[in-house]
Each structure stands twice: as structure tokens, then as C-alpha cells.
A and B are shown apart, each in its own frame.
Chain A
């Protein structure tokens, strides 16, 4: 549905986006990750036709965002960062204005405006002036205008920034509800959000692509070995000995020495494999007659992956 090919955007001497390529299939929710200034907003502005790329191309549907700008824009609902709105208008008035500018059918405008207001929970406020709205409500108006006309593609720049936790959950579940029916690109630097809502993640840093894939795969692939967390009954030394002999276990670390009067230990094991190693560990513990109280596989968080990827880049650059 969205294809970005070798996209480069320069502002004078600075390169904001550097030969970026990625694809988003129909119905996918793409999380666009990167530290501040990585080029997320610039890429989104190219996608929505605010400015053309310096080189490379981007298509939405099958329309080029520069050559067939109007056709491409008809498919997109866009919510920019900080949600710029006309503060002198009332919510319903503003949404009607947007419906008109988007060229929606005049007869259907009223019901369409009511539909999007209901979708984002704005009905009760429809007569309020936009300048009197709190950040959370402004955000909702921003989302509502993007949804007007039911576009198949949504481009959302930091949709949950500045919201309270309750609102974040609401907006997230709203976005998640689009999975399968709409193609969504959302940028964020809140990683749990991306992990929770997106089916695919693109990480960029300094304008360049550093990783691409489903969130789970990124964690597994980039976080290095998976680790296991164990809580076992028994003497610490004996257990350490035992665990390190299990094939596939690379290192054993006793985290909490047993408190006086207790006989359980917490271990963190670094393993080179998946469930097979975990099964062997369980067998070894139980086979030796110890009580296995807890075993949890721990994979690297997206934060760790992100930090690793975005700082690795810098280290490489410094070396070169």
C-alpha cells in the first residue's frame, strides 16, 4: 500500500533522510521508530505531499506522491505532530470545514462528521471552541479530521504524545482496531506503545534505516541470546554447578543469594537456544531432586534493541 524507495531529503547541507526504503502492506500497522531528529517527521511530510523528496520516490496505493499528488492525498488521513488546528473554530464547524476541503459529498457530510466524532469520543464537546480544548481533546480532533472520508491510509505523527494514561490506552485501542482494514504508519519514540500496537516496526536513525521487522522478531534477533529466569529450591553452589553443565547454557548468574532460613535461589541463565534448552534445564533441575518453583523466558525489550541499534551506528561512525 505504501512504498518508499531510496528516499532522500536534504535541507541545504543537512541530510534529513538518507536513502530510506521500506514497504507497508495493506492492513498493516507500521511503527516508525527513531530518536528525535531521526527523520520520522520529514518522511511523513514527504508521504503526505507537504514537500517533495530530494531524490528517490514514495508511492501510496499505486500513486506517486509527487506526480499524482491529488490521487495519493485522497487516500491518506494525516495527523501532524503537535496537531495544528484553527483555534478560532468550534469542533463540529472545523470538521465540516475539513470535510469540505477533502471534497466529501455535501449530503453525507453531517453523518460523516458525527461518525468520526463518535469514533474518537468527541460528541459531547462538538460545540466547543478548539482553543479551549485540553491537549488530549486536541489530539482527538486531530485524529477525527484524519479519519474523515474514511481514507484507507492513516499517517499519524506521535499520536499519543501528551496524553494521560487513560487516553493513551483509548487511542491505542482505536488504532489497533484499524488492523486489517486500514494501513497505518505511526511514529513514536514510546517503545511499549509500538510493541503493543504495531505489526511491523521500522527503526531509523540519522535518516537511515537500521532495522525492519515485526516487534517480536526484532527483539529475538537483535537482543542476542534469550535468557531464562529461574527460582529453584536447593543449595546455591550445587545448583550453579548443575545448571552450567546443561548443554546450551552459556552462563549462570545467581542473582539473589538465599536469605537466612530460606532455601531458594534466583538464577539468570544466558542460553544459546529456544525452548529446547529450557526443557533440558527443567529436566536437569527436577532430575537432581530440586524443586523448580519458577522459570520465565526473558527476551530483550524493544528499548534494549533500540538503544543497541541506534548507538551501534554512532560507534561505527566514530570508528570510521
Chain B
């Protein structure tokens, strides 16, 4: 447990020792800031028209501004998270520090879990930083806090899934670029798997839909918590952490 905590703290500080964290953080805030600005401007325009058009009266901040923004944020994070996780195991293997790390009395599980939690924490910090937009909005409008919080809970769970999959990609290779590309491709596939559900036929279709990251995220921005979605994310994270531990082990047996 102490070893896990030590690994966790080292990985978390390592983010701030390298420029990567700052570049990603700034990039993320710039993108989400742009999306926030353009969506808000559009919403303001739409609400002016709404006053004349009774057909549009049911527009709400949560459904027509914050929920779509959350979707945008998720996609941006899907691009960024593999860059966050690519270093975690690949670099330790390339530089040989893994050999030394594993000569200490700690299991592979502590190594993988410590790194996972550190990357997930950094993910959460990035998301928290983007709340500056929401707080700004809150000074001018009344927000529905509960659905908003549920939406961000979903984003955090999604982040756990992104990080676990990225970590596994990092366990597979010694090359950070390969880890990042593989992680990104796998994430995008897992996210978009459900899109082909309607054309895949009656047997495979529902399965694709059930396995897709995107499908299980849909409810959260609406403010809905479905235990099936919760279970999906927990299982997804657990499965890829398990794969990471096993991959690390297997690579050594062959190495």
C-alpha cells in the first residue's frame, strides 16, 4: 500500500516535472475555452430568437449549452488522454528503470495501479480547471447543478476508461508514440463502436451498442445515472488494468 502511494505521488509529480503536462493543460483549456465561447455566443443569439418564436421556448442552458459542451470536452479529452498515458510504462521499459523498479519488494499490481491513479488524478485536475467557464456562467445565470454534476461524474468515469486503455497501450510497447497512436485508435473505436450497431445486423448490432463507450456515456449529460452504465465503466477500467498487469508480466517472461 505504501509502495502504491509512493508510485502514485512520483507519477503525479513527474507530470509537472515535464513540459507535457503544461502543454496539454494549456491546449485543453484553449480548446474548451473556444468551444465554450462559440457555443455561448450561439446560445445567446438563439435565445433572442426564442423570444419571438414560441416553438423554441423549451430551450434550457443544461440541454442546449452545457450538455453539448460536455460532449465536446469528452472528444477533446479522448485526443489528449493517450498523450497523458503514453509515457507511463513505455518509457520505464525503454530506459530500463522498470527492471530496477521490479527488483523492489512490490508487485506489478502496485506499479500499474499507482500509475493509473496518478494519470486519472491529472485527468481530473484538467477537468476541474475547465470548470472556470461554468463558474463564470453561474455568475450570470441560474444553473441546474444536479444534472451538471452527474454529467461530470460521467466524464470522470469516462476518463478512468480512457486512462486504463491508454495505460494498456503503454504496456504493450517501448515506444511512446506507438503507445499514443494505439491508445487513440483503440479509444476512438471503443467510442464509436455503437455507431454501426444499426447496420450490423440483429445479432452483432446490440452487442456493439452494449460494448460501446459512447452508448454508456449518453445518459450522464442528461443527468441520468443508470447502474448499468456505472457497472460498465467499472468493468471496463478493471478489465484494462488487469490486461496491463498481465501484459507487463508476459513481456518480462519473454524479455
Identify the A interface with B (CB < 8 A): 11, 45, 48-52, 70-71, 73-74, 76, 78, 80, 82, 84-89, 97-98, 100-103, 106, 145
Specify which chain A residues have a CB less than 8 angstroms from the CB of B103 in the assembled complex. 48-50, 73, 76, 78, 80
A73's contact among B5, B104, B252, by CB below 8 Å, is which? B104
A103's contact among B10, B14, B100, B105, by CB below 8 Å, is which? B105
Given contacts A70-B107, A88-B14, contact A80 B100 (CB under 8 A): yes
Q: Is the CB of A102 within 8 A of B100?
A: no
Known: A70-B106, A97-B6. 17 other contacts (CB 8 A): A45-B99, A48-B103, A49-B103, A50-B102, A51-B253, A51-B255, A71-B105, A73-B104, A84-B96, A84-B97, A85-B97, A86-B97, A87-B95, A88-B18, A98-B104, A101-B3, A103-B106
Query: In the complex, A80 Cα to B252 Cα: how many Å?
Result: 15
Query: In the complex, A73 Cα to B90 Cα: how many Å?
Result: 24
User: Which residues of chain B from 1 to 57 have any CB-CB distance to chain A below 8 Å in the complex?
Assistant: 2-3, 5-7, 9-10, 14, 17-18
Q: Is the CB of B96 within 8 A of A97?
A: no
Q: Is the CB of A100 within 8 A of B2?
A: yes
B142 at interface by CB-CB < 8 Å = no
B125 at interface by CB-CB < 8 Å = no
Q: Can you report 22 residue pairs joining A to B where beta carbons are below 8 Å apart?
A: A48-B103, A50-B102, A50-B103, A50-B255, A51-B255, A70-B105, A71-B105, A73-B103, A73-B105, A80-B96, A80-B99, A82-B96, A84-B99, A85-B100, A88-B17, A88-B18, A100-B5, A100-B6, A101-B101, A103-B106, A106-B2, A145-B100
Identify the B interface with A (CB < 8 A): 2-3, 5-7, 9-10, 14, 17-18, 95-97, 99-107, 252-255
Given contacts A51-B255, A52-B253, A88-B14, contact A101 B104 (CB under 8 A): yes
The 4 A-B residue pairs whose C-beta atoms are closest, nearest first, are: A100-B6, A84-B96, A48-B103, A78-B103
Q: Is the CB of A86 within 8 A of B99?
A: no
Specify which chain B residues have a CB less than 8 angstroms from the CB of A48 in the assembled complex. 103
Specify which chain A residues have a CB less than 8 angstroms from the CB of B252 in the assembled complex. 50-51
Specify which chain B residues have a CB less than 8 angstroms from the CB of A98 in the assembled complex. 104
Instruction: Tell me the nearest residue of chain A to B106, going by C-beta.
Output: A101
Query: In the complex, A11 Cα to B251 Cα: how many Å?
Result: 12
Specify which chain B residues have a CB less than 8 angstroms from the CB of A89 in the assembled complex. 10, 17
CB distance from B7 to the nearest CB of A (A): 7
CB distance from A156 to the nearest CB of B (A): 12
B254's contact among A11, A70, A86, A103, by CB below 8 Å, is which? A11
Specify which chain B residues have a CB less than 8 angstroms from the CB of A97 in the assembled complex. 6, 10
Instruction: Tell me the nearest residue of chain A to B17, going by C-beta.
Output: A88
CB distance from A152 to the nearest CB of B (A): 14
Specify which chain B residues have a CB less than 8 angstroms from the CB of A87 in the assembled complex. 95
A84's contact among B6, B18, B100, B106, by CB below 8 Å, is which? B100
Q: Is the CB of B102 within 8 A of A49?
A: yes
Specify which chain A residues have a CB less than 8 angstroms from the CB of B97 in the assembled complex. 84-86
Query: In the complex, A44 Cα to B17 Cα: how many Å?
Result: 32
Specify which chain B residues have a CB less than 8 angstroms from the CB of A74 in the assembled complex. 105
Specify which chain B residues have a CB less than 8 angstroms from the CB of A88 in the assembled complex. 14, 17-18
In the complex, which of the residues A98, A100, A103 has the most CB atoms of chain B within 10 Å of its own CB atom? A100
Q: Is the CB of A50 within 8 A of B99?
A: yes
Specify which chain A residues have a CB less than 8 angstroms from the CB of B5 in the assembled complex. 100
Query: In the complex, A48 Cα to B10 Cα: how many Å?
Result: 23
Query: In the complex, A248 Cα to B18 Cα: how many Å?
Result: 72
